[in-house]
Structures are given as C-alpha cells and as structure tokens.
Amino acid sequence: MVFSVEAKPLGEYDVVVAGGGIAGSFAAASAARQGAKVLLAESGGCLGGTLTAGGERHILDADGKGGILRELFDFLDAHGMTVARRGEKVDPDGKKIPGRITDGEGCKFFLDTLMKQSGVDVLFYSRVAAVSQSERDGRTHLDSVLLVTEAGNYAVSSKVFIDATGNGSLAALAGCGYACGEPGTGRISPASTCFSVVGLPPQFNGTDSAAEKRAYSDMMKAHDISASAEEAGIVRLPAMGEWLFSLDYQYDVPPDDIRRLTDAAIASRAEVFTAVEKHKQIPGYESIWLSQTAEHLGLREGRRIFGEYRITEADMTEGRHFDDGICLVRSKVDLHKLHAHDTLDAGRGKKTQPYEIPYRSLLPVGTDNLLLAGRCLSGDFYPHASYRMMGNMAATGEAAGFAAAVCATEGVALRALPPARIRERMKEYL
Ligand SMILES: Cc1cc2nc3c(=O)[nH]c(=O)nc-3n(C[C@H](O)[C@H](O)[C@H](O)COP(=O)(O)OP(=O)(O)OC[C@H]3O[C@@H](n4cnc5c(N)ncnc54)[C@H](O)[C@@H]3O)c2cc1C
C-alpha cells in the first residue's frame, strides 16, 4: 500500500541526526561544535534513549574515556548524581572514569543543556519515517527525510545524515543490508524492562557479584517469585533508597515486528509488577514499592547494519587495533540467554582483549552521505554483545558527528576522511 503524504519543508541542514540516545546526542553536539548546522530528531520526549527512557543507568566501559562522556560525568559528579557499584566514588588519580550508575534526571538535564550550548536544533516527538534519495557515483545519496511529528509531517534536507536510532531504522529505510541475531539460530538477545524500587530493607547491598545475583534469584525462587532472567541485577541508584532492577527476559523480540514489541512490553511490565508485589511477602520486604518501569522496553540488539568494515569475533579475541580506530573497547561479551532453556554460559566462552572500533564500521555499504552511530554500527553478533556498552556508544556518536561536520562544512567525502585525522580527534576514547 502506498500513501502519499503532504510534508511542510523544515529547512536545510549540514547534519541531521535521527535518534537522541547517548550516541545520537553526542553525535549532534560533536557536529555542532565542529561548526555544522545540526538538527536532532527524537521520536520520544527526552534525550538519552536507553540511558534515560530505557532506565539503564549504569554506563559501562567508561574507564579512561574522555570527550563529552567525561563532561557528563563531571556534571553528574558535581551534583552528587553518580554512584560507583562498590568502593570509591572517584578514582584515586582523578582521571579515570569507572563504570558509574547515573541519575536519569541529571542525564536528561545535562543532554538538554548540551544541545542548547552547542547550538543543536532539537525536535522531540519527531520520528524519521521515510527517505527521499538519489544516486551519486553508484551509491545511494539521501536528499531528505520525512519527519512524522505530533504537529504534522515535515521534510528535512541535509548534506549528511546520521542513523542513531539504535535499531538502524534510518539505514533500513535507505535500503541498507543488515544482520540480526546469533549466526545459525537467528536468535536475538532478550529484551528486558529496567525498573526502580524503593522500600528495600536497610541492610540490602545490591547484587554486584555473580554469587550475589544467584543468591538473590534463589531467595526469590524460595518465595515462589518467578523471574525469567537467570540472575537478578540490582544496583544502588544515586537517589537515596532507590534501587535499579532488571529481572525479566523477553525472547525473540525483533526490531521490525511491532506486535511482538508491544506484546513483549506488556508481558515484561506484568512480570515486573507481579514479582515486586510478591516481594511484599518476604520478611523485611513488606515496604517494597515499584517506583517506575522504564518507558522503553530495553532492546539489547537490533539491526547490525553492514558497513565498509564489519567488526569480527577475531578482532575482539585478538585485540586488534586500526589506523582509523575511534574507541578502545574493554568490555567482555555480555550475552544473556537466547531462549528459556539456554544452558550455555553467558559469554559463550568468548574471551576479549581490548580492541578498537574502526571508523569504517560507521559507513554503511552502498550509501554516500549516511553514517551509523550507536548500537546499529557494523559488527558481528558476539562483538556486538561487547561493544554495545554505553561508554563505547558515546564514542561512536562523537566520531560520527565530527566526520559528518567535516564532510558537510569542508566538502570532504565521508570515505575520504584521513584515518589519522579521525584518530587524532578521538584520542580521548583510545
Ligand atoms: C536491558 C538493557 C540493559 C543494558 N545494560 C547496560 C549496562 O549495564 N551498561 C551499559 O553500558 N550498557 C547497557 N546496555 C546497552 C546500552 O544501553 C545500549 O547499547 C546503548 O544505550 C545504545 O545507545 P544508542 O544511542 O545507540 O541507542 P538507544 O539508546 O536505543 O537510543 C536510540 C534513540 O533513537 C530514538 N529513535 C528510534 N527510532 C527513531 C526514529 N525513527 N526517529 C527518531 N528517533 C528514533 C529512540 O527513541 C531513542 O531515544 C543495556 C541495554 C539494555 C537494553
């Protein structure tokens, strides 16, 4: 079925970013600071994506990383809005940033302020829903995108576009190829709803270690509380007495099946509500209260768009570095069960050594003026379960924004950007 819709012209930009998660927000700020005229279109009503609307407040693989990520932590630290999992809050050398649990409202305020100060034009409630494209030198060239908004439809033209939708929705609209799921089985990482509770016993100390997670799950089972995740992840939030929980797995939730996405979101909330209510029967937990479930069902995996370079398992296990490296990944393979009866160990026995994300993995095959930022970048299944941590996704955004701005303002083709230049710009993430 083909619809023809009226769209008002919204203007012409140097860079249009689709999606305002950590990757998209950092991409937009980075491009604007480089002198580009930037529009950031976000389908929801706040910036941060999984970090805020998805309720996942624990920024991992942030150690030793600088750039806008450090600015975020500096802001949050100044307001007492981070906590370390355990141990010291500030690194002894005052330089490294350990994985921190952040305050969601603090992150939202920081990102709003970042956009304002960088001069990014932000539109909320605005979904990138279609593309208009032509051909240039054998590649697809995006001319404009259709924004479907609360206030009608708009057409936006730009020199360069960045897909930071998490699920690679813009690249898919542009006809780019992609993969999703485990090779062979096609099973994708489970989705989960993050939620926060208050009213836990005063002596409660979270489940930071694997042993503590198992012990908590055993305690729930002993009280007839069923949870589909094999382990309950519970960490302290910066707000006094508030805890962040994740204890459910929704299997086989692909990014392109809206009924399954909706059903999974409902099933997930039902599981969370029931589990928290049942906690009230456990001695000491009588006052537990479900404070909030995240607005977004958390999708760990979406489309992995095919790029000029696809990060491989060997890159990760052998710790490869690249001339055009933009970020050093230190995270392990954080795979969760792929179906209810999965008995394999979480990481599938895959070991990692610190490896780099190359700039080429942000360049979708066959397109001329499109970049990827965030979890839709080009990589295989196992490395994706390692590099998708927010510390790395932040870096890919900052790199994509820089490259897009250079391309738009200096007339350098995205593929002609000298590797040494992007590496130099990204040295604080390497
Ligand atoms: C349950 C769960 C637990 C996790 N745990 C951790 C953890 O402990 N630590 C860690 O570091 N990482 C964790 N991760 C991974 C990490 O959170 C993500 O990989 C990362 O946040 C992805 O960032 P992003 O900016 O690429 O995408 P997202 O955060 O998904 O942001 C994408 C944004 O794009 C918007 N959008 C989507 N489509 C469109 C469109 N068509 N037009 C306009 N806007 C659009 C969305 O509304 C959203 O705001 C977890 C992920 C999940 C799901």
Tell me the C-alpha distance between 335 and 120, whole Å: 35
Is residue 60 in some structural domain? yes
Q: How far is the CA of 29 from the centre of ligand 1 (A)?
A: 17
Report how far apart, in Å, the C-alpha atoms of 146 and of each of 72, 75, 99, 220, 257 are: 31, 35, 37, 48, 21
Are 290 and 195 a contacting pair, CB within 8 Å?
A: yes
163 lines ligand 1 (CB under 6 A): no
Strands 38-41 and 8-18 turn out to be: parallel
CB atoms within 10 A of CB 282: 15
pLDDT of amino acid 93: 52
Tell me the C-alpha distance between 275 and 178, whole Å: 36
User: Which of 43, 50, 271 most suits a substitution to test ligand 1, by most atoms within 8 Å of the C-beta?
Assistant: 50
pLDDT of amino acid 340: 84
> Among 299, 318, 350, which residue terminates a domain?
299
Q: What is the mean pLDDT of the chain?
A: 93
* Nearest Cα to Cα of residue 84 among 62, 104, 105: 62
The answer to whether residue 117 scores a pLDDT higher than 80 is: yes
Considering the domain architecture, whether residues 154 and 218 belong to the same structural domain is answered as no
Is residue 15 in some structural domain? yes
Phi, psi of 184 (to 5 degrees): 95, -55
Q: How far is the CA of 108 from the centre of ligand 1 (A)?
A: 14
Considering the domain architecture, whether residues 292 and 328 belong to the same structural domain is answered as no
The one-letter amino acid code at 32 reads A
Better-scored residue on pLDDT, 379 or 338 = 379
Which CATH number do you get for residue 21?
Answer: 3.50.50.60
298 lines ligand 1 (CB under 6 A): yes
Considering the domain architecture, whether residues 153 and 30 belong to the same structural domain is answered as yes
Better-scored residue on pLDDT, 342 or 223 = 223
The one-letter amino acid code at 357 reads I
The token pair at 324 is: 């055009």
Is residue 186 in some structural domain? no
The answer to whether residue 90 scores a pLDDT higher than 70 is: no
Is residue 2 in some structural domain? no
Reported as a single tens digit per residue, the pLDDT across 194-204 is: 999 999 998 88
**Which protein residue's CA is at the shortest distance from atom 17 of ligand 1?**
50
pLDDT of amino acid 349: 79
The answer to whether residue 323 scores a pLDDT higher than 70 is: yes
Considering the domain architecture, whether residues 160 and 216 belong to the same structural domain is answered as no
Half-sphere exposure of 300 (CA within 13 A, CB side): 30
Better-scored residue on pLDDT, 352 or 3 = 352
* Nearest Cα to Cα of residue 23 among 82, 113, 125, 111: 111
**Which protein residue's CA is at the shortest distance from atom 27 of ligand 1?**
166
Tell me the C-alpha distance between 405 and 38, whole Å: 9
**Which protein residue's CA is at the shortest distance from atom 53 of ligand 1?**
298
41 lines ligand 1 (CB under 6 A): yes
Q: Which residues pair with 356 in a beta bridge?
A: 328
User: Which of 52, 165, 272 most suits a substitution to test ligand 1, by most atoms within 8 Å of the C-beta?
Assistant: 165
pLDDT of amino acid 346: 65
**Which protein residue's CA is at the shortest distance from atom 14 of ligand 1?**
389
Considering the domain architecture, whether residues 423 and 286 belong to the same structural domain is answered as no
Reported as a single tens digit per residue, the pLDDT across 33-88 is: 999 999 999 999 999 999 999 999 999 999 889 999 999 999 999 999 998 765 44
Tell me the C-alpha distance between 42 and 27, whole Å: 13
pLDDT of amino acid 213: 84
CB atoms within 10 A of CB 203: 6
Q: How far is the CA of 52 from the centre of ligand 1 (A)?
A: 9
Q: How far is the CA of 286 from the centre of ligand 1 (A)?
A: 33
Considering the domain architecture, whether residues 295 and 307 belong to the same structural domain is answered as no
Q: How far is the CA of 50 from the centre of ligand 1 (A)?
A: 4
User: Which of 72, 231, 390, 392 most suits a substitution to test ligand 1, by most atoms within 8 Å of the C-beta?
Assistant: 390
CB atoms within 10 A of CB 400: 34
The token pair at 308 is: 């000029």
Is residue 228 in some structural domain? yes
Strands 304-305 and 178-179 turn out to be: antiparallel
The token pair at 337 is: 């069960």
Better-scored residue on pLDDT, 84 or 374 = 374
383 lines ligand 1 (CB under 6 A): no
**Which protein residue's CA is at the shortest distance from atom 38 of ligand 1?**
165
Better-scored residue on pLDDT, 100 or 331 = 331
Reported as a single tens digit per residue, the pLDDT across 97-110 is: 456 899 999 999 99
Spatial CB neighbours of 94, under 8 Å, sequence gap ≥ 6? none
Considering the domain architecture, whether residues 199 and 241 belong to the same structural domain is answered as yes
The strands making up 195-198's β-sheet, listed across from edge to edge, are 233-236, 243-246, 195-198, 289-293
Is residue 3 in some structural domain? no
Tell me the C-alpha distance between 18 and 28, whole Å: 9
Considering the domain architecture, whether residues 294 and 209 belong to the same structural domain is answered as yes
Considering the domain architecture, whether residues 31 and 175 belong to the same structural domain is answered as yes
The answer to whether residue 91 scores a pLDDT higher than 60 is: no
Lowest mean pLDDT among 4-13, 166-175, 223-232, 350-359: 223-232
> Among 241, 275, 299, which residue terminates a domain?
299
Lowest mean pLDDT among 135-139, 164-168, 372-376: 135-139
393 lines ligand 1 (CB under 6 A): yes
Average pLDDT over residues 19-30: 98
Is residue 174 in some structural domain? yes
The answer to whether residue 96 scores a pLDDT higher than 50 is: no
The answer to whether residue 240 scores a pLDDT higher than 90 is: no
43 lines ligand 1 (CB under 6 A): yes
Better-scored residue on pLDDT, 93 or 74 = 74
How many structural domains comprise the chain? 2
Q: How far is the CA of 416 from the centre of ligand 1 (A)?
A: 29
* Nearest Cα to Cα of residue 357 among 390, 317, 325: 325
**Which protein residue's CA is at the shortest distance from atom 37 of ligand 1?**
165
Average pLDDT over residues 105-119: 98
The answer to whether residue 95 scores a pLDDT higher than 80 is: no
234 lines ligand 1 (CB under 6 A): no
Percentage of the chain exceeding pLDDT 90? 81
The answer to whether residue 120 scores a pLDDT higher than 80 is: yes
Considering the domain architecture, whether residues 95 and 127 belong to the same structural domain is answered as yes
Atom index in ligand 1 nearest the CA of residue 331 equals 11
Q: How far is the CA of 190 from the centre of ligand 1 (A)?
A: 14
**Which protein residue's CA is at the shortest distance from atom 31 of ligand 1?**
21
pLDDT of amino acid 345: 65
Considering the domain architecture, whether residues 312 and 364 belong to the same structural domain is answered as yes
pLDDT of amino acid 159: 98
Atom index in ligand 1 nearest the CA of residue 24 equals 25
Are 73 and 100 a contacting pair, CB within 8 Å?
A: yes
> Among 255, 281, 299, which residue terminates a domain?
299
Considering the domain architecture, whether residues 323 and 224 belong to the same structural domain is answered as no
Average pLDDT over residues 385-406: 98
Q: How far is the CA of 107 from the centre of ligand 1 (A)?
A: 14
Q: How far is the CA of 375 from the centre of ligand 1 (A)?
A: 7
The token pair at 208 is: 């930071």
Better-scored residue on pLDDT, 294 or 93 = 294
Residue 318 belongs to domain spanning: 8-181+301-429
The one-letter amino acid code at 95 reads K
Q: How far is the CA of 155 from the centre of ligand 1 (A)?
A: 25
Atom index in ligand 1 nearest the CA of residue 59 equals 11
Is residue 414 in some structural domain? yes
Half-sphere exposure of 357 (CA within 13 A, CB side): 39
388 lines ligand 1 (CB under 6 A): yes
Lowest mean pLDDT among 245-259, 271-285, 302-316, 336-350: 336-350
pLDDT of amino acid 98: 53
Which CATH number do you get for residue 198?
Answer: 3.30.70
